[in-house]
Chains A and B, each alone.
Chain A
């Protein structure tokens, strides 16, 4: 056995854990290591150690699975699909051959009727728009500074990710309202209509209002209709019995405060 092989086998003549793990993963042994399979056939100590490592890995896999967080969306978010389609079209327009053909076509039609020139101009504008890189959703938007206390009507604007959105209050506010509107645009906004002004944290997936139970809050949140689902929570409890706000409604309002109105009743504004 060459000396470098002897060096790779640990002092007491057994394989190292790294070599055993390589063997368990069916990876080829390092050139300077003895054939692990051959060694294991004649070494009870290394067989026992390999079994310990194998069991640890299984136990780890179980622990990880048991502590995994929420499931990911099963289908492609609509916004991402639109981007892929736009990219596919942009690639078509970005082809040098097709661009050259388009230029020749435009030049040839310049002498033609004004309507044709207008059409060609519109097509060119569309092609150059699609060829521009699409604006990418930010990895994170949080935290944003709260609006000044005096700034009623202040608006925070951000680009939410696709998928569900959570509006979370630290505590159920004492009074006020939360109006949730849907919009066909890609941006979301939070507008302060009055009341107290706690700190707001905005991420691509959530709006976190760091309020106290005595606060009066009045906000209007406008979200892209494509998001479809909005959860409104106080701490971890749903604020309204309807817990999920349906953005197919044009505008919905949650009133905070004591009866006679049902506490935090969700109603649709016609």
Chain B
């Protein structure tokens, strides 16, 4: 089991390197091997998730505790004075939350590869190499339990995304690629500064040999928190990079352009998984390591920005005439529920937030998928030029309507579970945010139904196309979309396996924010030693 973790990270990377060495003409080999690699990664990740759900729960009370872990020294960084050296580690681990996100990444990567099967015309080997490299970076960041390793993977994803958008994107691809990389790079440099300062503070204060190990620092924080002012500074610095990535509202300006210009498969990956790195970073780093700042400063800031994002994104989505842009704003709006739920800081809300990360990945990814299929058939995304497509493309219409319902939060589908949990969790913390946020559900239903109504119903209007009339859903397209839709339904009907999986991890984190905090029985010195020994 433990041996599978590095395989999960390195298999796509090795395959990407191998693909990059192929001749550009070997397109057939490239896409088949990419598919095989992504399917094997998917199989491994599902197996790992299954194993995890069967494993005995850990009995530790540490706020962050991976249930499987693999630690390897990467380099030792000196500390001034007589104190021992600081170890940076390749520290891979797996807990419920990361296992789910890894599985989501593997599913969406397979989807993206199937979706780009025929659509990418030139440089296919390089394209599939980039997709696999991106998968590797994403999985790496989701199973990194070392702050720096997380940052390394977080940053590494920029490289394949830059090429994916810049080479295979739409008209404005160069501007979109440059803007995306510069925005997120500037944000994440602040994160890097914050992470390093946090590591320095951890080394100084608790004398940790591994001050970048998230579980070790979290255990120390639970007993002896950092000074409040330092926590606030660190949270603002670290949070900035995540806020740009998620994106929270004032930092979202890169998003519409990027989503619209990126090839559809990449948009699916961006909205489904890449942005989750930001939310995951908030959950994995800010919440357990900086509890006081998160509770007093983080909640008002993040919750306010989230509800602004929910409403603003929904209003923008309402006024779009470009389908892809509409879904981009809808993604912005729905991500608000993720951060709103996470920062409710209670079991209900945070579970909902994590669940909503998965749901958002599935349903928004699926909507982008179908929008991409329509665009491929007609060569346009202009809403005004469509109408009554349900009679022309019945199967596609049914699927699209289904995923729009899932995204809009219809009961019995996955969006409902996540949004309900998020909002009710937030209601317990601060009803005002929850009430404003709930308006987003209504607005969401409004614009998604408008999208469906204008595209699929009414008199038939379709843009002129050359050649035979566009075919209905193809088998390959259905194969790409079916797992997402099946999961939407399954999670909506019976979310318990998923909540069971993430509950223990969420429990341990939100215990920090409990109204009756568990007072640690052991003296701080002993625990510091313990965490050194681990």
Asked whether A and B interact, the reply is no
Which residues of B approach A to under 8 Å, CB–CB? none
